[in-house]
Amino acid sequence: MVKVFDCPKSLTDMPTHYCPGCTHGIIHRLIAEVIDELGIADKAVGVAPVGCAVLAYNYFVCDMQEAAHGRAPAVATGIKRVVPEGVVFTYQGDGDLASIGCAEIVHAAARGELITTVFVNNGIYGMTGGQMAPTTLPGDKTSTSPYGRDTKKQGFPIRVSEMLATLDGPAYIARVSVHNVANIVKAKRAIKKAFEYQIAGKGFTLVEVLSTCPTNWGLTPKESLEKVQRDMMPYFPLGDYKDIEAGEKK
């Protein structure tokens, strides 16, 4: 018998604290698989955000730092400058990265900082109980947009990948999704490419992953995956937004 699929070595045994069906867990696994495949567990340093993934430092078998809310790219910059031979990644939610940490991610990208960011876009503040995120879709109800996000007063969702792709510092920026198996496979490919580009010193890399929050969306895990495809993907189209090896496209 041959192993077709097994738990990656770069994940610890500790069960995660994520809610049932939350796709944070899938994304964690993909990162761990990539770390395994690239054989970089012993030189990877991860940076956990403040968000539902705040305990991510418990789940990866590599050195980790827990950053202040939104500041993971700055923390990662500090680490990478000290350990240039290390492989440094941040794992950040949409509140963390696109709201409070907006300046940090823009500037890490503009600096072409040699780090990889996995950006988990679930359109909500999961950890704090379902408040509006910068990526919450127009009309969606959250605990701070109880009447539905009104673009007149609360503005429009930010398309982070498109925005960062206007900069010269990034080497690779892609938006992927984990709402079905085919996309999970693609998502892993993107994350792997991002890490490879970092290792090759090509520039800043970011993979935006459309993710779910069944708990705060008030949907079952399955319905949540459907919402990603039905509602999120039209607003946040999947694709490579920047690939210095391939030229820009979209």
Ligand X SMILES: Cc1ncc(C[n+]2csc(CCOP(=O)(O)OP(=O)(O)O)c2C)c(N)n1
Instruction: Report the interface residues with ligand SF4, using CB under 6 A.
Output: 18-19, 22, 24, 52, 122, 126-127, 213-216
> Does residue number 215 form part of the binding site for another protein (CB under 8 A)?
yes
The DSSP secondary-structure symbol of 228 reads I
| CA separation for the pair 176, 209 (Å, rounded) | 5
Closest C-alpha among 36, 23, 66, 76 to residue 205:
76
Please work out the total of residues on this chain that contact another protein, with binding judged by CB under 8 A. Answer: 89
* Nearer CB in complex with ligand X: 114/178: 178
Partner whose binding site includes residue 76, from ligand X, another protein, its own copies, none (CB under 5 to 8 Å by kind): another protein
The phi, psi pair for 219, rounded to 5°, reads: -125, 165
Interaction pattern, residues 128-147, with its own copies; x per rule: CB under 8 A? ------x-------------
Interface of this chain with its own copies, residues 163 to 202, rule: CB under 8 A: 163, 165-169
Closest C-alpha among 174, 193, 170, 177 to residue 239:
174
Instruction: Give the nearest distance from C-beta 88 to ligand SF4 in angstroms.
Output: 24
* Nearer CB in complex with another protein: 34/45: 45
Burial class (CB in 10 A: 0-12, 13-18, 19+), 41: middle
Interface of this chain with its own copies, residues 80 to 139, rule: CB under 8 A: 99-103, 106-107, 110-113, 134
| CA separation for the pair 206, 195 (Å, rounded) | 9
> Does residue number 170 form part of the binding site for another protein (CB under 8 A)?
no
Report CA-CA distances (Å) from 193 to 19, 92, 185, 196, 227: 29, 18, 13, 5, 27
Instruction: Give the nearest distance from C-beta 24 to ligand SF4 in angstroms.
Output: 5
The binding site for its own copies (CB under 8 A) comprises 99-103, 106-107, 110-113, 134, 151-152, 154-159, 162-163, 165-169
